[in-house]
Amino acid sequence: MPDDIARHLIRYSGRGAFSPGVIDRAKGCSVFTEDGRELLDFTSGQMSAILGHSHPEIVATVREQAANLDHLYSGMLSRPVLELARRLAETLPEPLEKAMFLSTGAEANEAALRMAKLVTGGHEVVSFARSWHGMTQAAASATYSAGRSGYGPAVPGNFALPVPDRFRPGIVDAAGNLDWRRQLDLGFDLIDAQSVGSLAACMVEPVLSSGGVIDLPPGYLAALRDKCHERGMLLILDEAQTGLCRTGDWYAFQRDGVVPDILTLSKTLGAGLPLAAVLTSAEIERQAHDRGFLFFTTHVNDPLPAAVGNTVLDVLARDGLDRRARELGERLRGGLGELAARHPVIGDVRGRGLLVGLELGGGDARDTDVLGAAVTRRCAELGLHMNIVQLPGMGGTFRIAPPLTAGEAEIDRGVAIIDAALTDVTA
């Protein structure tokens, strides 16, 4: 590691280490190090670059917009912001028609929770026990997968809901399968027992990403919505990673026919640039405004990232990338399924579209953690960047999310490298 990295950079990951090498440039589905190595990027940057790196239309938009209008006083409006708000509303079911634009997913979730608390008059928030919603105060307090120890009290009134994990079920039926309805009922029985009568919101991802790529069972989201509305809570869906075609639909909630009260987008909306959104109904926006909703930030509704968001929508719609994500996702899961048949260490392959989880299972969890880290290193040596989730009590789950612009050859090459890495490490 170069001396300036060790000497000058704050380490911001719990594991402390940065990835080896310094990245010099990126293009398409690959990143290139200063020493000339190519890495196939199966995480789309930080699960964001859905159009790949340095997409020519994104590059052109940034150049043109930065030369014309990049930043304004936060109370001023620009044409890119107005266009993006209208166009996003057109992709969404009623009554989601009001939008504000921010920089990060944590910021969007912070704003959504602040709005929900103001509108409902409550302060209590429910989220999954393996959630990740961000590192700012309210978002971090609703995050349970990491980062809770050593920082003092979380925001009062946060409750964890059991994760409906079909591979590692907590509550099972007579056949040994996940009984998610009974689990959900029990979860809310415990929440009701702890609540002081001030429930405001439930914030969840339709597919838990940092929680191990857990796709909510069909029917779960509708049942969760009903639990929320029975208690006067708002349902907030965090589609930072699942929104905008990643799962094969424009939004992951569309599969279940459930419309959230508030939707947050980030990562995929800017295709790698810092852009996030909060979307809600006219009625919720009116109530929030009437009660003095305040979320005035330096880069709220900035024109440059909004222009990028408009270009992202152009490319997604024109190139049919929702369909492309379904097709490539089937190819990816099929290839990984073939690996599972030959590598006993693979416990499960799951996911939707181009958000796929490959879980290493069996044996002692500590051994699986070591194996996962070794496979990650070997993949990098062979030219593939992978990310593995390691949570207490679980094995290691690779989060695989290539750009939606990947080709079949790149999907196949990634699967082949995973195959070789597993062979090398387990030999």
d(CA 389, CA 193): 32
Determine the topology of domain 3-54+320-426 in CATH.
Aspartate Aminotransferase, domain 1 (3.90.1150)
207: left (phi over 0), alpha (psi -120 to 50) or beta: beta
Q: Which of 12-16, 136-140, 368-372, 374-378 has the lowest mean pLDDT?
A: 12-16
d(CA 217, CA 222): 10
> Which one of 124, 165, 215, 238 is the catalytic residue?
238
Looking at every residue in the chain, the average pLDDT score rounds to: 95
pTM: 0.96
Beta strands 276-281; 96-102: pairing state: antiparallel
pLDDT band at 363 (very low <50, low <70, confident <90, very high): low
d(CA 239, CA 206): 7
327-344 mean pLDDT: 97
- 123-134 pLDDT, tens per residue? 999 999 999 999
Reply yes or no on whether the pLDDT at 362 is more than 80: no
| SS3 state at 424 | helix
- 41-83 pLDDT, tens per residue? 999 999 999 999 999 999 999 999 999 999 999 999 999 999 9
Reply yes or no on whether the pLDDT at 1 is more than 60: no
Provide the 10 A C-beta neighbour count for residue 33.
Answer: 15
- H-helix or E-strand spanning residue 352: strand 346-352
> In a 10 Å sphere around its CB, with 0-12 CB exposed, 13-18 middle and 19+ buried, how is residue 57 labelled?
middle
The ranges assigned to domains in the chain are: 3-54+320-426, 69-318
Question: Catalytic annotation on 267?
Answer: yes
Reply yes or no on whether the pLDDT at 374 is more than 70: yes
d(CA 222, CA 235): 10
Reply yes or no on whether the pLDDT at 366 is more than 90: no
Question: Catalytic annotation on 399?
Answer: yes
pLDDT band at 310 (very low <50, low <70, confident <90, very high): very high
- 178-220 pLDDT, tens per residue? 999 999 999 999 999 999 999 999 999 999 999 999 999 999 9
Reply yes or no on whether the pLDDT at 87 is more than 80: yes
Joined together, the tokens standing for residue 360 give: 């290493």
Reply yes or no on whether the pLDDT at 377 is more than 70: yes
Question: Catalytic annotation on 205?
Answer: yes
On whether the 69-318 domain is CATH 3.40.640.10, my answer is: yes
Question: Catalytic annotation on 410?
Answer: no
| Residue percentage of the chain with pLDDT more than 70 | 96
> Which one of 241, 256, 261, 285 is the catalytic residue?
241
CB 106 within 8 A of CB 278: no
| Residue percentage of the chain with pLDDT more than 90 | 89
> Which one of 110, 205, 322, 359 is the catalytic residue?
205
> Which one of 117, 130, 227, 267 is the catalytic residue?
267
Residue 91: which of 322, 285, 282 has the closest Cα?
A: 322
> Which one of 117, 246, 326, 399 is the catalytic residue?
399
> In a 10 Å sphere around its CB, with 0-12 CB exposed, 13-18 middle and 19+ buried, how is residue 175 labelled?
exposed
Question: Catalytic annotation on 132?
Answer: yes
DSSP 142-190: T--SS--TTS-PPPTTEEEE----SSS-SSB-TTSSB-HHHHHHHHHHH
- 402-419 pLDDT, tens per residue? 999 999 999 999 999 999
CB 253 within 8 A of CB 219: no
329-356 mean pLDDT: 97
> Which one of 117, 132, 348, 378 is the catalytic residue?
132
